[in-house]
Amino acid sequence: MSDLHITKIAFGCDGFDDLRGRLLPRIERGEPIVLTTRYKPKRFEELAGGSLYWISQHRFGLRQPLMGFEDIEGGRCGIVLAPMLIPVEPRPRRAHQGWRYLAAADAPRDIDENAADADAIPAALQAELATLGLL
């Protein structure tokens, strides 16, 4: 995994379930997801092997591996994402416009949804505790 990632707000989504619903048809078809942005990251080479971490309701919740960047008509840039969503530990994060860099040391850990850990806190409760600043 890369030492550098990016973050993006799931703009217009009411939560991570809404984001999943929007992306699911393309994910099921195995199609890469391309987000358009005004500028290509200056540190794009460092992002190889990194991920885009989605933020909704002021917290992290999902990530998608970065597949690369492509030039789009009109001088814009496409952020190409793998057709998969990986849940991450909910952690508070301020809203921002566009995308921002995220150091690997600051990135939330992946959550294994299939793990049968009796001590695991349910995701909804984790999100609420994170909102209250208790996690």
Lookup: tokens for 130? 């994170």
- CB within 8 A of 94, min separation 6: which ones? 58
Once rounded to an integer, what is the mean pLDDT over residues 54-62?
94
pLDDT at position 118: 45
Average pLDDT of the residues of the chain: 88
Left if phi > 0, otherwise alpha if psi is -120 to 50, otherwise beta: which for 87? Answer: beta
Query: pLDDT tens digits for 59-75?
Result: 999 999 999 999 999 99
Q: Residue 53 and residue 85: Cα distance in Å, rounded? A: 10
Query: What are 3-32's pLDDT values in tens digits?
Result: 999 999 999 999 999 999 999 999 999 999
Continuous H helices in the chain: 16-28, 123-131
CA–CA dist 123, 33 (Å, integer): 25
User: Radius of gyration over alpha carbons of the chain, in Å?
Assistant: 15
pLDDT > 90? residue 55: yes
Percent of the chain with pLDDT over 90: 73
Sorted by where each begins, the domain ranges of the chain are: 4-131
Q: Which helix (H) or strand (E) holds 52?
A: strand 51-56
pLDDT value for 48:
92
CA distance 45 to 24: 28
Q: Structure tokens of 10?
A: 């799931």
Residue 52 corresponds to which amino acid?
A: L
Average pLDDT over residues 68-95: 93
- What pLDDT, on a 0 to 100 scale, did the predictor assign at position 2? 81
**pLDDT, tens digit, for every residue of 94-134?**
888 889 999 999 999 999 866 545 456 666 676 677 667 66
